[in-house]
Amino acid sequence: MKNIFLILTAVAVIFAATNAVHAAKPKGLLKNPGVWGAFKLKEGKGLACYLAGQPKNSKPAGVKRGPIWLLVTHRPKKKVKGEIGIYVGYPLMANSNVTVEVDGEKFKLYTVKDTAWVEDGKVEAKLVAAMRKGRKMTVRGTSTRGTKTTDSYSLKGFTRAHKAINRACKVR
């Protein structure tokens, strides 16, 4: 199992860099978080609650990549609920899509630099619901060099982490 302190630090750095906001050290919401951790932190005058997980397997093996994370974030003050961001650890091919498959159900995400996002809030909610019910998730993307990657996630513990961030940010 990965060291939770390293996970907290890495996620806080990603979170702060993405939002250009001075982010305080996040507070863990779960004891024994497992694959999916749940966190909250003060963000400006509001609160941000997010869950974070890393893939179980990444292919092809040996490809040089930075940290790989999937985050689901609530920012109630900004009226953000269930925002999904996938950090793939390399620059993505311009004008490409990342495909997320949850137990056979596929979703297309648009890309910006090294991150994939869901364009439509209704699709985002549908993806989160699929992740809550699902067992396995696969994320596929293509780097600027043309390397195709596949990241496999276990969804065990996702629902628990999602419930924790919903409670912490009072989101339904």
Q: Going edge to edge, which strands form the sheet with 57-59?
A: 27-28, 36-43, 46-53, 69-75, 80-87, 115-117, 105-112, 97-102, 136-142, 148-154, 57-59
What does the alpha-carbon distance between residue 116 and residue 111 come to, in Å, rounded to a whole number? 4
Q: What is the rounded average pLDDT for all residues in the chain?
A: 89
What does the alpha-carbon distance between residue 165 and residue 51 come to, in Å, rounded to a whole number? 7
CATH number of residue 60's parent domain: 2.60.40.1880
Q: How many domains does the structure of the chain reveal?
A: 1
- How many helices (H) and strands (E) in the chain? 3, 11
Q: What is the pTM of this model?
A: 0.86
- What's the pLDDT score for residue 14? 47
* Spans of the chain, pLDDT less than 50: 1-21
- What's the pLDDT score for residue 23? 54
Convert the pLDDT of each residue in 38-84 to its tens digit: 999 999 999 999 999 999 999 999 999 999 999 999 999 999 999 99
Identify the DSSP state of 24.
Answer: P
State the residue range of the domain holding 119.
Answer: 4-168
